[in-house]
Amino acid sequence: MPPSPAAASRLPPAAARSTSPRTAFPVATAELERVAAATLDAARQRGATAAETAVSQGVGQDVTVRHGEVETIAYHRDRGVSITVYVGQRRGHASTADFSTAALAAAVDKAVTIARYTAGDPAAGLADPARLARTWSDLDLYHPWELTVEAAIALGREAERAALAVDPRLTNSEGAAVVRGESEFVYANTAGFCGGYRSSQHHVGCTVVGEHDGTLQRDHWYSAARAPQDLESAAHVGRMAGERAARRLGARPVSTRECPVLFEASEAVDLIGFFVQAVSGGSLYRKSSFLLDSLGREVFAPHIQLREEPHLRRGRGSAPFDAEGVATFARDVVRDGVVQGYFLGSYSARKLGMASTGNAGGSHNLVLASGSDDLAALLARMGRGLFVTEQLGHGVNLVTGDFSRGVAGFWVEDGALAYPVEEVTIAGNLRDMYRGIVAVGSDVDRRSSRHTGSILVDRMTIAGR
**What is the average pLDDT across 273-297?**
97
pLDDT at site 214: 86
The pLDDT confidence band at residue 465, using thresholds 50, 70 and 90, is: confident
Beta strands in 226-297 (DSSP E): 257-263
pLDDT in tens, 319-349: 999 999 999 999 999 999 999 999 999 999 9
Count the helix, strand and coil residues of the chain and give each as a percent rounded to the nearest 5.
25, 35, 40
> Rounded to 5 degrees, what angle do the CA atoms 287, 293, 295 make?
135
Helix axes 29-45, 101-116, angle to 10 degrees: 40
pLDDT at site 266: 96
Q: Write down all domains in the chain, each with its CATH number in brackets.
A: 1-246 (3.30.2290.10), 257-463 (no CATH)
pLDDT at site 88: 95
**What is the average pLDDT across 194-215?**
95
168 CB contacts (<8 Å, ≥6 apart)?
none
Scanning 279-397, the segments in alpha helix (DSSP H) are 281-285, 346-352, 375-382
**What is the average pLDDT across 358-378?**
96
Q: What is the mean pLDDT of the chain?
A: 93
**What is the average pLDDT across 110-124?**
96
pLDDT at site 24: 74
Taking CA atoms, 255 is separated from 58, 221, 252, in Å, by 50, 29, 10
**What is the average pLDDT across 360-383?**
96
Closest CA to 56 of 23, 97, 84, 93: 97
pLDDT in tens, 79-100: 999 999 999 999 999 999 999 9
| 11 pLDDT higher than 60 | no
| 61 pLDDT higher than 70 | yes
Asked if residue 121 lies in contact with residue 90, where contact means CB atoms within 8 angstroms, the answer is yes
| 1 pLDDT higher than 90 | no
Q: Among 10-14, 263-267, 314-318, 434-438, whose mean pLDDT is lowest?
A: 10-14
pLDDT at site 393: 84
Asked if residue 192 lies in contact with residue 267, where contact means CB atoms within 8 angstroms, the answer is no
The sign of the dihedral angle between the CA atoms of 281, 287, 290, 295 is positive
Rounded CA separation 54/3 (Å): 39
pLDDT at site 20: 35
Helix or strand run (H / E) with residue 142: none
> Rounded to 5 degrees, what angle do the CA atoms 357, 360, 365 make?
70
Closest CA to 447 of 2, 143, 60: 2
pLDDT at site 371: 92
